[in-house]
Chain A
Amino acid sequence: MKLPEFGRNLSVQAGLVAAAAFALGPLAWMASVSLMAPGEATQYPPPLLPAAPSFGNYRELFVQAGMGGYVLNSLGIATGLTLSSVLFNVMAGYAFAKLHFRGREAVFKALLAALVIPGQVAMLPLFLMLKQFGLVNTWAGVILPGMASVFGIFLVRQYARTLPDELLEAARIDGAGEWRIFVTIVLPLLRPIVVTLAMFAFLASWNDFMWPLIVLTDSSLHTLPVALASLSREHVQDAELMMAGAVVTILPVLLIFLALQRHYLAGLTMGSIK
């Protein structure tokens, strides 16, 4: 290999390694500190590795701070939201792509316009409205508003447009009803985007912070991000405990991402190509 080319090769690799260190460094530090003894991390100079790694912080989190409950809350809410929003969005996305009805384009354009409005504008009145329904401090109060996702409909529509019309026409000629066509033909074809959408929905719900913070007043109903924020305000001095909490919050989504990253990245790219 010629020297300038070797140099370029090296600098490209070095650049990537530096970027990866930047990206992963804090996460690695988080894992390391979570295994340290209480008080170990607040020393000067700050240690990088635990002297005697132990799971004591995790034990305290689950036994004292009730982390298990928060995991269940996050899991329950994220699952409920994912299942319902995927169902609704796939139906709507398919309809906008393949079913002709009057006003279809107008309604879709209106939905796109709604994308511009930041969700926070709706938060205060939504809170008051949920209070009227008695849904404050319930899982439903978190899930129901979360199902309103224009981005999900958009994503499904993009993908559904690539479905061959002939297949659907043939089924209609055979006398199949619209619902049957949807279930038997369309859904299997849409499987990749359904998986992507489910992933997006689950991740977004798991990581959601502001709305659950507002709606869930009982700390026993808190999701992981809300519980972690509350713990971090109260236990600002217990760095090791907080890092263990951060690990518990981040690890599930990281694992899901690692397992299904192909779908996630494909969906992200597709959503960006208008």
Chain B
Amino acid sequence: MTMPRRRAFIAGAAGVAGATLGLGGCRRGDADAPLRFWAMGREGEVLETLLAPLLREQPRLRVRVEKLPWSAAHEKLLTAFAGDATPDMAQLGNTWIAELAALGALLPLDAGAAGLDAADHFAGIWRSNEVDGRLLGVPWYIDTRLMFYRHDLFRRAGVPSMPGDWPGLVRALDALQRSGVAHPLLLPLNEAEPLLALALQQDDPLLRDGGRYGDFRSAGFQRTLAFYIERFARGHAPFLTNNQISNLWQEFGRGSFAAFISGPWNIGELDRRLPTELQGLWSTAPLPGPVPGGRFGASTAGGSSLVVFKRSHRQQQALQVLAFLGRPQTQLHFHALTGNLPPRRSTWALAPLAGERRAAAFLQQLELAKPTPAVPEWERILQEMQLQAARAHRYGTPVADAAAALDERVDGFLAKRRWMLARGALRARAA
């Protein structure tokens, strides 16, 4: 290379490097930039379609949807908060509201301004969005867990419909095993919701003393844990994670298992993914409960809310989107796209939803849906609970020991919370 060309090359390299760094360092904080909206799973996939009418109404409004997988969403939200890179608004599992509220990340909302009416919502769900008397999230859809099952396989085994109590369920699973389904009930080892739902069916709460200590050694939880572990020991459930299932819907269609516990979004997924000949062969039913002779048991009161972040520069636009997504027509459209259940009673009264067979089971279950403790550490406690249960089966630990070990770990997680409560830096909500 000759000298002038060499000089030019170095100058060019330095220039490109500098430009990249400069451009890279550029942050899109201007008000002209689109609204950043984070959404998870299936909801993230349909959000752009759902927002299309609003964007037509308001041409100056631009929304950029970012889809997160559920498995990484919690992590990413916290990382974004820690790194000062939160979006403008996001979908949030309502068990995470307490956590982000403790961080002071969420903007208090004015329900009236968003066109929402507290009385039109299910009370428990609305309450889980309120922290210290302020509304921090708007319910987007409600969610609970119930049984999805192949009623044709059940009938072939001599069970006409999903039993209403635990002993009935055990008999049904035995019958299914005899009829050729080796592991009839899918309880993925890395999903905490099924165990949580069963645990909530007991009267004993999972944390005690205003969320300061774990109470997993209670008789109620130990009964649930024993029931859960026994399902694996008896071969009713395969000892697998959902990574190893590979394709849930395909395997359900193939009859590798006859039942699994999941949420409303799977109505939409199964409708989309199963071949037509299998469409009429499955149903939903509320979870069997621990009380013999009962019609069904409780389940989780979950769902997602929509939140706006305090650090957003586009709060007005976010509130516009919130109001739009809260309209009953939008919620109906949302249900049609995903199978998710609307949080507003007025939407439930509207025509297509009112008559839907499979959604009816959810409405039934929602009557007995219990919220989880609203402590910021809940996500971690949930994961630990699931881990201890899986370990107890694998290593044959007695249930009492597993429960005690779990309590010990949970007490450790809650140590800082206890200190903050003692200092008065936090106010304890009824756990």
Interface residues of chain A, those whose CB is within 8 Å of chain B, are 39, 42, 76-77, 79-80, 83-84, 86-87, 127-128, 130-131, 134-144, 183-184, 187-188, 214-215, 217-220, 230, 233-234, 236-237, 239
Contacts and interface: CB of A to CB of B under 8 A. Distances in A.
5 contacts: A76-B24, A84-B14, A137-B85, A217-B76, A234-B71
Interface in B225-247: 242-243, 245-247
B21 A140 contact: yes
Given A80-B17, A138-B24, A187-B6, A239 B76 contact: no
Nearest to B249: A237
B67 interface: yes
A236 B82 contact: no
Nearest to A134: B27
A139 B80 contact: no
B10 interface: yes
A232 B13 CA distance: 36
A130 B21 CA distance: 14
Interface string B61-99: 000101111011000100110111100000000000000
A217 B6 contact: no
B24 A136 contact: no
A87 B247 CA distance: 49
B17 A83 contact: yes
A139 B18 CA distance: 12
Contacts of B16: 79-80, 83
A140 B69 contact: no
Given A87-B13, A140-B24, A237-B250, 19 more contacts: A42-B246, A42-B247, A77-B24, A79-B16, A79-B20, A83-B16, A84-B14, A87-B14, A138-B26, A139-B24, A140-B22, A143-B24, A183-B6, A183-B10, A184-B3, A188-B6, A218-B36, A234-B69, A236-B246
Contact of B83 (A86, A130, A143): A130
B75 to A, nearest CB: 10
B21 A144 contact: yes
A215 B64 CA distance: 20
Contact of B79 (A83, A134, A214): A214
A237 B3 CA distance: 57
A221 to B, nearest CB: 9
Q: For chain A, what secondary structure do more than half of its interface residues adopt (helix, strand, loop), or is it mixed? A: helix
B25 interface: yes
B319 to A, nearest CB: 22
Contacts of A139: 20-21, 23-25
A134 B246 contact: no
A66 B361 CA distance: 38
A120 B378 CA distance: 28
Nearest to A184: B3
Nearest to A183: B6
A233 B24 contact: no
Which 10 pairs of residues, A with B, have the shortest CB-CB distance?
A139-B24, A136-B83, A80-B20, A234-B69, A237-B247, A84-B17, A140-B24, A137-B85, A140-B25, A83-B17
A127 B247 contact: no
B25 A135 contact: yes
Interface in B1-35: 1, 3, 6-7, 10, 13-14, 16-17, 20-27
B248 interface: yes
A143 B20 contact: yes
Interface string B17-60: 10011111111000000001000000000000000000000000
A69 to B, nearest CB: 12
Contacts of A239: 246
Interface of B: 1, 3, 6-7, 10, 13-14, 16-17, 20-27, 36, 64, 66-69, 71-72, 76, 79-80, 82-85, 242-243, 245-248, 250
B427 to A, nearest CB: 28
B245 to A, nearest CB: 8
Given A138-B27, A236-B243, A237-B248, A188 B17 contact: no
Q: For chain B, what secondary structure do more than half of its interface residues adopt (helix, strand, loop), or is it mixed? A: helix
A184 B72 contact: no
Contacts of A83: 13-14, 16-17, 20
A42 B250 contact: yes
Contacts of B64: 220
Contacts of B10: 87, 183, 187
Contacts of A230: 69, 72
Given A219-B67, A233-B71, A234-B69, A143 B21 contact: yes
A134 B66 contact: no
Contacts of B13: 83, 86-87
B137 to A, nearest CB: 20
Nearest to B85: A137
A86 B16 CA distance: 13
**Which residue, B14, B22, B27, B85, has most C-beta atoms of chain A within 10 A?**
B85
B85 A217 contact: yes
Nearest to A188: B1
A185 B301 CA distance: 73
B269 to A, nearest CB: 11
A135 B71 CA distance: 25
Contacts of B1: 188
Nearest to A142: B24
B229 to A, nearest CB: 26
Contacts of B82: 127-128, 131
B7 A127 contact: no
Contacts of B26: 138
Given A80-B17, A80-B21, A184-B6, A220 B66 contact: yes
A84 B12 CA distance: 11
A214 B7 CA distance: 37
Contacts of A237: 245-248, 250
B67 to A, nearest CB: 7
A181 B82 CA distance: 47
A74 to B, nearest CB: 13
A80 B19 CA distance: 9
B24 A80 contact: yes
A33 B23 CA distance: 38
Nearest to B25: A140
